[in-house]
C-alpha cells in the first residue's frame, strides 16, 4: 500500500469526489471544533458524531449494534455529555503535549462510547490533528507497514495511541493534515486485496 504524499492527496481527492457523506462531514470539520469548544450546542450535535461513526459504513455495519450504541448514547444525561466533550476539547486544544488519555477517559465514561467512537469525537474536535480509528483505517496503515498487528476490536487507549503515532508519522512525512489522511485511508481500503469490512 502506497502512502506517499501524492497517493495520499490523490485518494483524499477521490474521497471528496465520491463519498456520499463528504459534504456533511466537511461542514462538521469546519464547524464542530468551535461548536464543541463552547457550551452553546444541542444534544443532536453530539449525537451526530456517534451516528456518523457507524452510518458512514452505509449499511455495512450491523444495524442492531449501531442502534444499540446510538440509543445508549442518547440515554446519557445531556449535562454529562457537555462535561465529557468539554473535558476532551480542553485536553486536545492547543499545542503539544495533548492529553489524549484524559480526552478518551472523559468520552468513554459516556454510555455508547468506546475508544473507537471517542476517536471519532477527537477527529471532529481537532480535525487537523486526529484520525478516527476503525478497522478500515487501521488495516490500511498495517498494509502500508506503518502499524503492526491486526485491528484490535475494540481498541484500547494504548492501541489508539499506537494508531495515532502511526498517523502522525505519515502526516509528518507527507505534509498532510489528519482530515486529509483520514479521507485517504478510508478510500485506500477499497484497494486492499482481502478487505474484511
Tens-digit pLDDT profile for residues 47-104: 999 999 999 988 777 788 889 999 999 999 999 999 999 999 999 987 666 899 999 9
How deeply is 134 buried, as exposed, middle or buried, from its count of CB atoms within 10 A (0-12, 13-18, 19+)? buried
pLDDT, position 113: 97
- Residue 154 is classified by DSSP as S
Task: Compute the C-alpha angle 111/148/109, nearest 5°.
Answer: 15
**What is the C-alpha separation between 108 and 115, in angstroms, rounded?**
6
- Residue 176 CB: number of other CB atoms within 10 A? 20
Cβ atoms 188, 1 nearer than 8 A: yes
The 10s digit of each residue's pLDDT in 138-184 is 999 999 999 999 999 899 999 999 999 999 999 999 999 999 999 99
Q: What pTM value is reported for the model?
A: 0.94
Cell of 131: 484520525
Tell me what pLDDT residue 172 has: 97
Grid cell 485506500 in the structure block, residue: 188
Other Cβ atoms closer than 10 A to 73: 21
Fill in the DSSP letter of residue 155.
P
Please give the Cα distance from 126 to 129 (Å, whole number): 5
Name the pLDDT band for 191 (thresholds 50, 70, 90): confident
d(CA 54, CA 37): 24
Amino acid at each position: 500500500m502506497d502512502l506517499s504524499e501524492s497517493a495520499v492527496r490523490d485518494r483524499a481527492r477521490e474521497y471528496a469526489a465520491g463519498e456520499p457523506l463528504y459534504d456533511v462531514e466537511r461542514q462538521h470539520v469546519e464547524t464542530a471544533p468551535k461548536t464543541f469548544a463552547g457550551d452553546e450546542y444541542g444534544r443532536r450535535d453530539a449525537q451526530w458524531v456517534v451516528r456518523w461513526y457507524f452510518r458512514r459504513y452505509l449499511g455495512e455495519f450491523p444495524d442492531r449494534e449501531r442502534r444499540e450504541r446510538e440509543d445508549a448514547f442518547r440515554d446519557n444525561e445531556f449535562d454529562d455529555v457537555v462535561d465529557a466533550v468539554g473535558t476532551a476539547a480542553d485536553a486536545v486544544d492547543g499545542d503539544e503535549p495533548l492529553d489524549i488519555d484524559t480526552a478518551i477517559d472523559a468520552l468513554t465514561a459516556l454510555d455508547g462510547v468506546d475508544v473507537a467512537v471517542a476517536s471519532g469525537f477527537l477527529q471532529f474536535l481537532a480535525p487537523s490533528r486526529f484520525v478516527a480509528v476503525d478497522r478500515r483505517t487501521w488495516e490500511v496503515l498495517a498494509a502500508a507497514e506503518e502499524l503492526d498487528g491486526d485491528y484490535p476490536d475494540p481498541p484500547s487507549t494504548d492501541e489508539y495511541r499506537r494508531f495515532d503515532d502511526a498517523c502522525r508519522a505519515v502526516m509528518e512525512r507527507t505534509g498532510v493534515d489528519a482530515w486529509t489522511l483520514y479521507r485517504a485511508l478510508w478510500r485506500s481500503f477499497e484497494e486492499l486485496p482481502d478487505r474484511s469490512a
